[in-house]
């Protein structure tokens, strides 16, 4: 029997975790099972159509990203500033609906990745116009957002929450509003698409020659790989990680250096 365990779990969660008021048709994904789908004696057949409901509705943030972030990841902060109330409405949703133990790992990852990116945008807009996030005093340590009962800052979300979930690809999904960061994706992350989204973000970052220069015998890579070295070596070497997502086959003996980091604003 072939099956999608995360899919089944989330269908159950959709009806039990939050209730109908937190689930919208706008935030659903219809899945038409084919020969790779579920074939069993429990009611699922290869022609079964399932509607997958995300545990958290990220559609408001998705709409903003679609409108104000280019395909290259350039952010129209002026446009976002004019739609600040919409961003705040999404942040209010984050504040009042935090992940619980019943959420799947993918639902939690999607929530915290989007939260990090939305709160970073909010931080920039609170101080805009600026040339760099580093023009803000202690940008990653400011506790400006009370999510549930906890005042969060960007450092805690990244280092205490996301990094503890043992998914190194989060480093190519969260964005610190700077040119040398991975590009800000112009779609929100969702649990149902998370695997593909994280893989695509990682591959795009490695293929961007302004951020990484890869060849068989020499690599000049982003300082992200220096700052978070341990995260990329949990299942092998850094080269092993790079070779999973790079179009270039890198030798284990390749010479390694790191590129300068451009902290100018990603607009």
User: Is the confidence at residue 34, as pLDDT, over 60?
Assistant: no
In a domain, residue 210? The reply is no
Confidence (pLDDT) at 54: 84
Is residue 11 predicted with pLDDT exceeding 90? no
75 and 21 in a common domain: no
Query: Which sign, positive or negative, has the C-alpha torsion 30, 109, 150, 139?
Result: negative
Judgement on whether residues 177 and 137 belong to the same structural domain of the protein = yes
> pLDDT by residue (tens digit) across 75-101?
999 999 999 999 999 999 999 999 999
Q: Are residues 43 and 105 in the same domain?
A: no
Alpha carbons 246 and 239: distance in angstroms, whole number: 10
The answer to whether position 22 is within a domain reads yes
Residues 179 and 98 in one domain: yes
Residue 146 three-state SS? strand
Work out the pLDDT band at 24, boundaries 50, 70, 90. very low
**Residue 41's pLDDT is what?**
52
d(CA 265, CA 75): 9
Mean pLDDT computed over 27-50: 53
Is it the case that residue 211 has pLDDT exceeding 60?
yes
Question: Considering the domain boundaries, does residue 255 fall inside one?
Answer: no
Q: Tell me, what DSSP letter sits at residue 168?
A: G
In a domain, 222, yes or no: no
Asked if residue 230 is part of any domain, the answer here is no
Asked if residue 128 belongs to a domain, the reply is yes
Which residue from 29, 202, 13, 26 is spatially nearest to 107, judged by alpha carbons?
A: 13
> Is the backbone peptide bond immediately before 129 cis, with ω within 30 degrees of 0?
yes
**Domain membership flag for residue 160:** yes
Mean pLDDT for the chain? 88
Are 144 and 177 contained in the same domain?
yes
Model confidence band, residue 30 (pLDDT cutoffs 50, 70, 90): low
User: Are 133 and 188 contained in the same domain?
Assistant: yes
Residues 149 and 45 placed together within one structural domain of the fold: no
- Coil, strand or helix at 23: coil
Do residue 43 and residue 63 come from a single domain? no
Structural domain span for residue 187: 59-201
19 and 119 housed in the same domain? no
Residue matched to tokens 């604003």: 265
Q: Please indicate, yes or no, whether residues 35 and 86 belong to a single structural domain of this protein.
A: no
Number of domains in the chain: 2
42 shares a domain with 76: no
20: confidence class by pLDDT, cuts 50, 70, 90: very low
* Predicted local distance difference test score (pLDDT) of residue 16: 38
Residues 64, 191 share a domain: yes
Quick check: is 149 in a domain?
A: yes
Residue 70 has pLDDT above 80, yes or no: yes
Q: What is the reported pLDDT for 259? A: 98
Give the C-alpha distances (Å, rounded to integers) separating 180 from 18, 74, 128, 177, 206. Answer: 38, 12, 19, 9, 12
What pLDDT score does 26 carry? 52
The CA–CA distances, whole Å, from 126 to 72, 84, 137, 192 equal 24, 10, 12, 32
């Amino acid at each position: 029997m072939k099956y999608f365990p995360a899919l089944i779990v989330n269908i159950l969660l959709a009806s039990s975790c939050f209730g109908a008021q937190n689930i919208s048709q706008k935030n659903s994904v219809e899945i038409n099972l084919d020969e790779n789908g579920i074939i069993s004696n429990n009611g699922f057949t290869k022609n079964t159509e399932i509607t997958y409901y995300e545990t958290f509705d990220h559609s408001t943030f998705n709409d903003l990203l679609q409108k104000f972030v280019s395909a290259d990841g350039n952010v129209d902060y002026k446009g976002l500033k004019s739609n600040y109330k919409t961003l705040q409405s999404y942040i209010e949703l984050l504040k009042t609906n935090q992940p619980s133990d019943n959420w799947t790992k993918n639902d939690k990852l999607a929530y915290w990745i989007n939260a990090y990116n939305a709160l970073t945008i909010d931080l920039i807009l609170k101080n805009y116009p600026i040339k760099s996030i580093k023009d803000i005093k202690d940008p990653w340590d400011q506790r400006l957002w009370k999510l549930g009962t906890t005042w969060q800052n960007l450092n805690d979300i990244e280092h205490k929450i996301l990094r503890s979930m043992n998914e190194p690809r989060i480093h190519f999904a969260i964005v610190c509003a700077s040119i040398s960061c991975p590009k800000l994706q112009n779609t929100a992350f969702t649990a149902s698409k998370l695997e593909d989204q994280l893989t695509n973000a990682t591959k795009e970052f490695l293929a961007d020659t302004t951020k990484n220069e890869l060849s068989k015998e020499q690599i000049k890579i982003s300082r992200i790989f220096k700052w978070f070295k341990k995260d990329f070596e949990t299942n092998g070497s850094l080269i092993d990680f790079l070779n999973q997502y790079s179009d270039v086959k890198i030798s284990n003996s390749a010479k390694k250096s790191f590129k300068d980091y451009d902290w100018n604003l990603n607009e």
